[in-house]
Amino acid sequence: MIAEFGLAALWLAAALAALQLLAGVLALTGRGEALAGIVRPVAVMQGLLALAAFFALILLFIGTDLSVKLVAMNSHSAKPFIYKLAGSWGNHEGSMLLWVTVMGLAGAFVAFVERRLPEPTMLATLAGQAFVSIGFYAFLLMSSNPFERLDPAAPEGNGLNPLLQDIGLAFHPPTLYLGYVGLSVAFSFAIGALITRQVGPAFAKAMRPWVLGAWIFLTLGIAAGSYWAYYELGWGGWWFWDPVENASLMPWLAATALLHSCGVLAARNALRAWTVMLGVVAFSMSMVGTFLVRSGILTSVHAFAVDPERGSFILALLAINIGGALTLFALRAGTVTEGKRFAVVSREGALVVNNVMLSAILGIVLFGTLYPLVAEAMGAKVSVGPPYFNPMGAIFLVPMLLVLMVGPLLRWRRDSFSRVGKRLILPAVLAVLAAGVLAGWSGIGVLPFIGIVLAAGLAIASLLPLRERNFRRTPLSVWGMVAAHFGVAVALFGMASESAFSVEKLVAVRAGEATEVGPWQVKLVNVEPVAGPNWTALEGVLSASYQGGDETRIRPQARSFWTPPQQTTESALLTRWNGQLYVVLGGEADDGRWQLRLWWKPFVTLIWYGGILIALGGLLALIGRVASDVRRIVAREKIADRRESQGR
């Protein structure tokens, strides 16, 4: 009955989405003004029904109901509880149900709390959200039903992909989806503003918290996914420009540009067309990523669907949503007034430069991701990887980082470099010193060299907006900006240092033999069998000492899962303040020696610490904005109450 309840809730949610769209459109056209009052309640109810459907799926996975096809294919009675739970979204149908659930709840929350926009714009926004939702409901109900029954029930389940049986991957997809679907709200706001021609500060203020929230979740999701790939796959890298990785990066790039553009429109009534266009582009990149990962066009641990029919359905949704939005923008762009002007040398000007650079990087990533797929469709095999992405991206990343150092110090509307030049002396000196130190190092590539130098300058420049401020009175939004920009410097330093100074060694040793990698001495003590809840493994016991110091035991594993059968490597990581020792256990040779792959990666952890700092900066800014809005609403209500009491 749980499966039937979930399916019924899904059908009802889809019906309410259709009603929400119809009522919103009729209310806007003036032929159904009486229907305007039901749009918000219907949106709330739709979100609750979608949540009920997803909760039903979770219960089916927790109870291992093997009469449900999705459970039988992606779970197992012996699987640990956390992975039974994660199995509900660690597959194609479940992940798409999670998508529509988050989208429904986001629309419900907008309908429930948003009161700043004119009512016609709000109706158009909720109608746009319903339009997008209907497509995904149709996709689930017609092509990817998560509640499909098996008759007879399976005797046992296949189990979740062992690579996904990791605590990081249990929470990485939901985090990304919160980001993706948050951008769908920004998309709907942009559509609503275009339809009603109400592109102004009020629209930007309503959209900004959603963009900021989506951006925070995307940042955390990308960082978590990067770290998972780093320690779980055993290849020693944290980013490979894989199409699935790029599918999450592209919305983040667009959301970063949208976030800054939205702030300018909200505060200074400028960049109106930029903001609307980026609102469309950001969610469009989420849709492109969904197509790449869910259509079966890619082979990846993340790519669940292999049915061409599903790919065609998603492609049709992509064409309708993106094509329709771009057509609407083209028709209404002329009605979007320019907004207030500003000088080239101003904070707005710096933000425009950075938006252009981010858009260019987005174009590079999009081209490099899609080109091999197009070439393969035409019968040619083409590989596009780091040799393309790294230098091409750096062409635009370097000037963007230089502007990032200066931009927060500039005044709004108009300024001059001569005024801020003195403040930049310290960052420039530190960057020059870093360049001087690195010049004596041999073997450092051009890009890592530039990265470390820029990171040194940006780290100091990011703190300069706090100069001469009273820390207690400094707005949280300023603290958020400083934390996020400092996080960029930290992450950049980690990326460049790992690339410049990593040491790799592949050896074969017997028990009792030692080897060295960088400043570490590593000795293989023995290899012993161990067992987990649904796997067995050979575990290497190694002792590691840094520069002859105390020994620490580390235990890499080579695991064998039986549901489904698969071999995985569990790397062993030993972290110090200045980097990580990374060890992977290989197979045993005929002569009794064991293969070991070892890396010493200086400052690699700063990549993810920087990502956390960036997300923390976004969270501080979000809290500051929400608190400011609440104070403004409370003050407005007090004034209204005072006037009402005076009128009596």
Q: Is 531 exposed, middle or buried (0-12, 13-18, 19+ CB in 10 A)?
A: exposed
Confidence of residue 305 (pLDDT cuts 50, 70, 90): very low
Whether the CA torsion 206, 209, 212, 217 is positive or negative: it is negative
Query: What mean pLDDT value characterizes the chain?
Result: 89
Query: Are 98 and 128 contacting, i.e. CB atoms less than 8 angstroms apart?
Result: no
Long-range own/partner contacts, residues 297-300 (CB < 8 A, 24 or more apart): 297/373, 298/243, 298/244, 300/242, 300/243, 300/244
Residues paired with 514 in a beta bridge: 523
Collect all residues with Cβ–Cβ distance below 8 Å to 34 and sequence separation of at least 6.
none
| pLDDT of the residue at 642 | 74
Tell me: the pLDDT tens digits for 510-535? 999 999 999 999 999 999 999 988 78
> What is d(CA 623, CA 216) in angstroms, rounded to the nearest whole number?
12
What pLDDT band is residue 466 in, cutting at 50, 70 and 90?
Answer: very high
Whether the pLDDT of residue 301 is over 60: the answer is no
In this prediction, residues 69-93 reach a mean pLDDT of 86
Residue 8 φ/ψ region, left for φ over 0, alpha for ψ in the -120 to 50 degree band, beta for the rest: alpha
Is 80 exceeded by the pLDDT of residue 311? no
Residue matched to tokens 């083209």: 330
Pairing of strands 557-562, 565-570: antiparallel
- Top-confidence residue, 67 or 301: 67
Please list, in sequence order, all residues whose beta carbon lies within 8 angstroms of the beta carbon of residue 80, skipping any fewer than 6 positions away.
165, 533, 534
Half-sphere exposure (CA, 13 Å, Cβ side) for 499? 21
Structure confidence at residue 387 (pLDDT): 93
In angstroms, the CA 215 to CA 103 distance is 16
Task: Please compute the mean of the pLDDT values over residues 21-33 and round it to a whole number.
Answer: 87
Beta-carbon neighbour count of residue 368 at 10 Å? 18
Q: How confident is the model at residue 358 (pLDDT cuts 50, 70, 90)?
A: very high
Q: How far apart are CA 83 and CA 77, in angstroms?
A: 11
Q: How far is CA 601 from the centre of its chain?
A: 25
Q: Which of 147, 160, 154, 156 is nearest to 80 (CA)?
A: 160
Q: What is the pLDDT of residue 423?
A: 87
Average pLDDT score over residue span 24-48:
90
Residue 37 has pLDDT above 60, yes or no: yes
Contact 603, 493 (CB under 8 A): yes
User: Which tokens belong to 506?
Assistant: 């592949």
Output the pLDDT for position 298. 60
Residue 296 has pLDDT above 70, yes or no: no
- Residue (of 583, 603, 480, 432) closest to 216 by Cα position: 480
What pLDDT, on the 0 to 100 scale, is given for residue 29? 85
pLDDT digits (tens, 9 = 90+) for 112-143: 988 888 899 999 999 999 999 999 999 999 98
Q: Which residue has the higher pLDDT, 32 or 264?
A: 264
Main-chain phi, psi angles of 548, to 5 degrees: 75, 10
Highest mean pLDDT among 78-92, 310-324, 555-569, 604-618: 604-618
Rounded distance between C-alpha atoms, residue 246 and residue 291, angstroms: 12
Angle (deg, nearest 10), helices 243-268 and 167-196 = 40
pLDDT of 539 above 90:
yes
* Residue whose structure tokens are 């109810």: 45
- The answer on pLDDT for 639 being more than 90 is no
pLDDT above 90: residue 277 = yes
Comparing CA positions, the residue from 178, 202, 88, 236 lying closest to residue 599 is: 236
Residues 368, 384 contacting (CB under 8 angstroms)? yes
- Residue 500 forms beta bridges with which residues? none
Ranking 69-83, 165-179, 203-217, 295-309 by mean pLDDT, the lowest is 295-309
- Closest to 92 in 3D by CA, of 165, 153, 160: 160
Count CB neighbours of 188 within 10 A: 29
- For 459-504, give the DSSP string: HHHTTGGGTT--GGGS-HHHHHHHHHHHHHHHHHHHHHHHHHH-EE
Q: Based on C-alpha coordinates, what's the Rg of the chain?
A: 27
Half-sphere exposure for 215 (CA within 13 Å, toward CB): 28
Where residue 42 falls among pLDDT bands split at 50, 70, 90?
very high
Rounded to 10 deg, the angle between the 119-143 and 308-332 helix axes is: 160
Are 30 and 87 spatial neighbours (Cβ–Cβ below 8 Å)? no
- Distance between CA atoms of residues 546 and 567, nearest Å: 31
Dihedral angle at the C-alpha atoms of 394, 397, 401, 402, nearest 10 degrees? 70
Percent residues over pLDDT 70 in the chain: 96
The reported pLDDT for the residue numbered 517 is 96
Residue 233 is classified by DSSP as: S
Q: Among 554, 561, 557, which Cα is nearest to 533's? A: 561
- Token pair recorded at residue 429: 């000196």
Whether residue 332 has pLDDT greater than 50: yes
> What is the DSSP-derived secondary structure letter of residue 518?
T
CA distances to 49, 144, 188, 397 from 286, rounded to whole Å, are 24, 19, 14, 22
How is the chain split into domains, by residue range? 1-165, 424-502+609-648, 503-602
In 3D space, the residue among 271, 256, 262, 420 whose CA is nearest the CA of residue 342 turns out to be 271
Residue 562 has pLDDT above 70, yes or no: yes
pLDDT for the residue 303: 45
In terms of average pLDDT, the best of 242-251, 252-261, 378-387, 635-644 is 252-261
Residues listed for the chain: 648
**Res. 297: pLDDT tops 70:** no
C-beta atoms surrounding 138 within 10 Å: 16
